[in-house]
Amino acid sequence: MDIDLIRTLTGVTAADDAAKDYLRKWPVGEKRRADVRRPRDYKSLKRWMGFARLLFESGVQDANGQAFKSEKAAHNYLKLLAGHATPVVSRSTGEVRWVADSIDYDTLEEGEFQEVWKRAIQGVIEELLPSITEAELEREILKFCGLWSANA
């Protein structure tokens, strides 16, 4: 069972009603083992999908000079640029192809996702948009996603 917890100054406590209910049923003194991970932030996923949509809708061309055929193609390209992929080797030719890995909530915790994000941003700057800075690209993505705040 997954429950959400919050770290406080005095320890750990339930983050919501479901977690409170679970903890009430947990017998005092009984040991449990937990797989603790930082949950993904919805804004991070929204920003990623907006990044892919921005690349697609703006007509940015990939390293081969081709505009992305779909938002999904841009999404997968970002994962490949970030090195978030698995090599698949052809038995007959030995050719290596890369298959983009998933970035879903169950696959990556927030910290891991942030590393993929940084590599994707860097990859786009190096491969597709060398005339833009990281800060400029981040700002454009946030504006496109409706997440930009001039105070941020």
Round to whole Å and give the CA distance between 54 and 65.
17
Beta bridge partners of 8: 11
Rounded to an integer, the average pLDDT of 121-131 is 95
pTM exceeds 0.85, yes or no: no
pLDDT of residue 112: 93
Tell me the pLDDT tens digit for each residue of 17-31. 999 999 999 999 999
Tell me the pLDDT tens digit for each residue of 30-71. 998 888 877 778 888 999 999 999 999 999 888 888 999 999
Using the 8-state DSSP alphabet, how is residue 26 labeled?
A: S
Percent of the chain with pLDDT over 70: 98
What secondary structure, in 3-state letters, does 136-151 show?
Answer: HHHHHHHHHHCCCCCC
pLDDT of residue 4: 85
